[in-house]
């Protein structure tokens, strides 16, 4: 019988084993030499930035290999606690990619507050196939011009119309929840899944003026496509095979993404073409256009984000269908999962803090009255002050976007540190919100800490950034706050919410592009009688 050890002996005898080892050593040494020569400057100028011990070529990649998604965040925090003290920044090499993660408020003010560092980090490239060069991922002149024409879409007069969408979809959610109540068990049900469908309907109505009826048809082609893209983004962030385009293109996941994108892009393009034709017809009318339902987009028909884009121009030229699709899809992405995450964590906090939930309920009744059929209005939402405090405190503890990223395009000095071109800067609103020196009792839910606003001279405005900050702050933050308030108000006026999970242990968090929990948050509800 052939024994592997015999082959080993033969290789040794004839010197082949030594030759193989020598060749491998030569290859490794050559690769390392090329690597060091290419990145010597970056390595040298960042020596003063603390970091864990690194390995040749792979850098700090070995700290993250074979880690589960929820362990990634724990690893970053552990390395930060170990190596970023007393400073609040740390250097992480992932192969040839240099990352600096900082919680230094002076760094944040320089990076977020100015116009020099506006380009998003490499992590956002995974959004490219869906969002193209929409506002979230574009940069330079394109970003500036798009931001300028999109800003009017979030004027209070337009937001007031969006509230009608929030009211409609949150009412459907209330009905869906009653069906869950009738069949709920001690284990509870996943409220987040239902909220996710609600926010998808609401943002689709607001973005395109059409409904996908996700709450009543969760298995539709469009809803399945949205779920597929969410899965793709998750896997591309945490699986090494999917991170690199060269290997990703060969996978089944890439083919699934392509099919999902065909559905999403096809739907958006169809709506754009249809709405553009309606506008052209309206412009050709020679009779009294005020009696024509299609004549004035804003007066007879609820204004949608799409309508504003169709009537906008850049450098005297209307936006192309592709331009519009990029921004509509960006609106869909930014206004869907982010809001869903915030609402779900709000209910989690209110369920764990019954006194806060009671105060929210009492304020909702005070503002809206005891008639549960009364629609929520824009004015009502502006009077829900305590509810807003609870939302802000939730976003401190569980910011929907847990990590922000910028790419340094030209070597520069930031707060005494030389940062080479190509470096990714990582900023964590999640980490900032849990810092004791910024927020006393950081792990305690205390909405009252925001009562006096957040303008205290003792606290930097860059300490609390759930919507980012500076020129690239979230353009839709008022939209999000109104939607969150509407859902909270309509659900709380109908149900008392309780958490069915372990109340003594915070759920494990996964810091993707959107903050999630490792396991779904399970809730129980009870109809309110008053």
Q: How far apart are CA 191 and CA 379, in angstroms?
A: 27
Q: How far is CA 207 from CA 165, 196, 266, 281, in A?
A: 10, 16, 15, 21
Give the residue among 431, 510, 467, 522 at the shortest CA–CA distance from 234.
Answer: 510
Angle between helices 385-397 and 321-352 (to 10 degrees): 100
Give the residue among 67, 202, 1, 111 at the shortest CA–CA distance from 423.
Answer: 111
Q: Residue 39: left if φ>0, alpha if ψ -120 to 50, beta else—which one?
A: alpha
Q: How far is CA 79 from CA 14, 108, 312, in A?
A: 47, 20, 48
Residue found under tokens 């073409």: 273
Annotation: binding site for heme? 474
SS (H, E, C) 152-217: HHHCHHHHHHHHHHHHHHHHHHHHHHHHHHHHCCCCCEEHHHHHHHHHHHHHHHHHHCCCCCCCCC
Q: How far is CA 495 from CA 343, 351, 523, in A?
A: 15, 11, 12
Q: How far apart are CA 174 and CA 171, in angstroms?
A: 5
Task: State both tokens at 265.
Answer: 């892009």
Helix, strand and coil in the chain, % to nearest 5: 55, 10, 35
Q: How far apart are CA 102 and CA 83, in angstroms?
A: 12
Angle at 516 between CA 513 and CA 519, to 5 degrees: 150
Which residues does residue 417 pair with via DSSP β-bridges, in sequence order?
A: 414
Annotation: binding site? 474
Question: Could you tell me where the DSSP H helices lie in 46-155?
Answer: 69-83, 105-113, 128-131, 140-150
- DSSP letter at 93 equals E
Q: How far apart are CA 253 and CA 259, in angstroms?
A: 10
- DSSP letter at 376 equals P
Q: How far apart are CA 142 and CA 134, in angstroms?
A: 9
Question: Could you tell me where the DSSP H helices lie in 285-405?
Answer: 305-310, 321-352, 354-368, 378-382, 385-397
Q: Residue 388: left if φ>0, alpha if ψ -120 to 50, beta else—which one?
A: alpha
Which residues does residue 313 pair with via DSSP β-bridges, in sequence order?
A: 318
Angle between helices 191-208 and 477-492 (to 10 degrees): 130
Task: State both tokens at 500.
Answer: 């069915």
State the number of CA atoms in the 13 A half-sphere of 35 facing the CB: 17
């Amino acid at each position: 019988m052939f024994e592997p050890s015999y082959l080993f002996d033969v290789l040794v005898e004839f010197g082949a084993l030594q030759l193989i080892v020598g060749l491998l050593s030569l290859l490794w040494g050559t690769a390392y030499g090329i690597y060091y020569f290419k990145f010597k400057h970056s390595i040298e100028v960042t020596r003063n930035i603390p970091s864990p011990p690194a390995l040749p070529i792979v850098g700090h990649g070995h700290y993250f290999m074979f880690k589960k998604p929820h362990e990634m965040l724990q690893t970053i925090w552990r390395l930060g606690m170990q190596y970023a003290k007393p400073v609040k920044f740390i250097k992480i090499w992932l192969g040839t990619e240099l990352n600096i993660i900082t919680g230094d408020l002076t760094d944040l003010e320089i990076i977020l507050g100015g116009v020099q560092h506006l380009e998003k980090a490499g992590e956002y490239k995974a959004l490219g196939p869906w969002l193209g060069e929409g506002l979230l991922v574009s940069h330079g002149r394109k970003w500036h011009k798009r931001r300028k024409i999109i800003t009017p879409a979030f004027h209070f007069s337009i937001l007031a119309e969006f509230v009608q969408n929030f009211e409609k979809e949150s009412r459907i959610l209330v009905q869906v929840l009653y069906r869950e109540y009738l069949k709920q068990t001690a284990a509870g049900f996943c409220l987040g899944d239902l909220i996710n469908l609600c926010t998808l309907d609401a943002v689709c109505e607001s973005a395109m003026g059409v409904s996908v009826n996700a709450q009543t048809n969760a298995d539709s082609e469009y809803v399945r496509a949205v779920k597929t893209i969410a899965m793709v983004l998750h896997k591309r962030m945490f699986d090494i095979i999917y991170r690199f385009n060269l290997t990703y293109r060969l996978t089944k996941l890439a083919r699934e993404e392509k099919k999902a994108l065909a559905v999403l892009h096809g739907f958006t393009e169809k709506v754009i073409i249809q709405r553009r034709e309606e506008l052209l017809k309206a412009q050709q009318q020679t009779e009294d256009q005020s009696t024509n339902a299609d004549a004035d987009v804003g007066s007879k028909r609820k204004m949608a984000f799409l309508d504003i884009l169709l009537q906008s121009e850049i450098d005297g030229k209307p936006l192309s269908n592709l331009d519009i699709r990029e921004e509509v899809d960006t609106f869909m992405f930014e206004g869907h999962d982010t809001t869903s995450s915030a609402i779900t964590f709000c209910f989690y906090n209110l369920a764990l803090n019954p006194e806060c939930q009671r105060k929210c309920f009492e304020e909702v009744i005070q503002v809206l009255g005891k008639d549960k059929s009364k629609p929520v209005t824009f004015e009502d939402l502006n009077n829900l002050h305590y509810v807003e405090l609870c939302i802000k405190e939730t976003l401190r503890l569980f910011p929907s976007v847990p990590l922000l990223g910028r790419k340094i395009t030209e070597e520069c000095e930031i707060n005494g540190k030389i940062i080479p071109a190509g470096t990714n800067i990582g900023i964590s609103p999640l980490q900032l919100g849990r810092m004791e020196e910024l927020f006393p009792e950081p792990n305690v839910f205390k909405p009252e800490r925001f009562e006096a606003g957040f303008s205290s001279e003792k606290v930097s405005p860059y300490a609390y950034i759930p919507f980012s900050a500076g020129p690239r702050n979230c353009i839709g933050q008022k939209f999000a706050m109104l939607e969150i308030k509407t859902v909270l108000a309509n659900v709380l006026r109908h149900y008392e919410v309780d958490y069915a999970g372990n109340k003594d242990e915070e759920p494990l968090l996964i810091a993707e592009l959107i903050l999630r929990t490792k396991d779904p948050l399970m809730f129980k509800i009870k109809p309110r009688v008053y």
